[in-house]
């Protein structure tokens, strides 16, 4: 079969998985996932199958505007698919202290080195935070308590830039110490998609990758788990 123009164009790219695997061993505050065996090959119908019970905001997931109380907007199935795909930029904020906030000055400094954030960009913040995701967590460090985030001012700066999506590798775009979620509210009020609890962001270049993070088509959903991937240029 002759390769399509899209297939040929993608030959110069590789796919990076940006989603955590779902299982019941991950930190409980942002997982709420269970899998129950329903049939096995030795049972009547002769095939493997299982029932899964999952929180809309489990693991790597997206938020719909309706997720936050007091925010009016779309449920997940009404958000245009174009919101979840596009050119991606990655801001390296590794080393940010626990509960620390990214400032507008830091974002502008990144732009000074890498070029301006543009309308329609999908903007990701790499905090390097999931390093302990698969390890024992007796102090519950990764359960919405100490993770860094972006400030409300940064969120409003990105709203003014008319970006399509903002994401990060932490379970909450706001620092965990701020329970009012001002960054979330600023973005969701502006109908800007939010993507959280990502992984492997350090594998993406500051510019030049293409993100796909499609949610499940859940009627009246406040969010959805996603399998987020990025196409990056082959070296």
pLDDT, tens digit only, all 235 positions of the chain: 778 888 888 889 999 999 998 876 655 445 566 666 666 655 566 667 777 788 888 889 999 988 875 667 889 999 999 999 999 999 999 989 888 999 999 999 999 999 999 999 999 999 997 554 544 455 554 455 678 999 999 999 999 999 999 999 988 898 766 667 899 999 999 999 899 999 999 999 999 999 999 999 999 999 999 999 999 999 8
- Inside any domain, residue 51: no
Does residue 67 carry a catalytic annotation?
A: yes
User: What's the predicted TM-score (pTM) here?
Assistant: 0.88
- Inside any domain, residue 114: yes
pLDDT for 66: 84
Phi, psi at 159, each rounded to 5°: -60, -45
pLDDT for 29: 45
- Inside any domain, residue 35: no
- Inside any domain, residue 52: no
Indicate which residue of 30, 57, 61, 67 is catalytic. Answer: 67
Query: In total, how many domains does the chain have?
Result: 1
pLDDT for 233: 93
225: domain CATH number is 3.50.30.50
The residue among 124, 113, 129, 130 whose CA lies nearest residue 91 is: 124
pLDDT for 5: 86
- Inside any domain, residue 88: yes
The two beta strands, 61-63 and 193-196, are antiparallel
Phi, psi at 92, each rounded to 5°: -80, 110
- Inside any domain, residue 144: yes
Enclosing domain of residue 227: 5-21+59-233
- Inside any domain, residue 27: no
Angle at 114 between CA 190 and CA 112, to 5 degrees: 85
- Inside any domain, residue 29: no
């Amino acid at each position: 079969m002759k390769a399509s123009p899209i297939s040929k164009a993608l030959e110069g790219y590789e796919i990076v998985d940006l989603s955590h695997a779902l299982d019941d061993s991950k930190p409980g505050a942002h997982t709420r996932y269970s899998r129950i065996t329903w049939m096995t090959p030795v049972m009547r119908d002769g095939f493997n199958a299982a029932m899964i019970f999952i929180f809309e905001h489990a693991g790597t997931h997206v938020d719909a505007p309706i997720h936050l109380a007091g925010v009016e907007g779309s449920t997940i199935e009404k958000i245009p698919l174009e919101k979840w795909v596009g050119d991606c930029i990655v801001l390296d904020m590794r080393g940010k202290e626990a509960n620390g906030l990214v400032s507008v000055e830091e974002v502008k400094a990144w732009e000074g080195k890498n070029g301006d954030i543009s309308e329609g960009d999908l903007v990701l913040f790499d905090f390097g935070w999931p390093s302990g995701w698969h390890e024992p967590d007796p102090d519950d460090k990764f359960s919405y308590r100490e993770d860094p985030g972006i400030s409300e001012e940064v969120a409003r700066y990105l709203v003014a830039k008319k970006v399509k999506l903002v994401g990060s590798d932490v379970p909450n775009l706001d620092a965990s110490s701020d329970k009012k979620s001002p960054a979330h509210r600023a973005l969701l009020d502006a109908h800007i998609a939010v993507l959280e609890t990502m992984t492997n962001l350090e594998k993406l270049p500051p510019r030049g990758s293409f993100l796909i993070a499609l949610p499940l088509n859940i009627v009246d959903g406040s969010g959805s788990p996603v399998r987020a991937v990025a196409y990056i240029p082959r070296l």
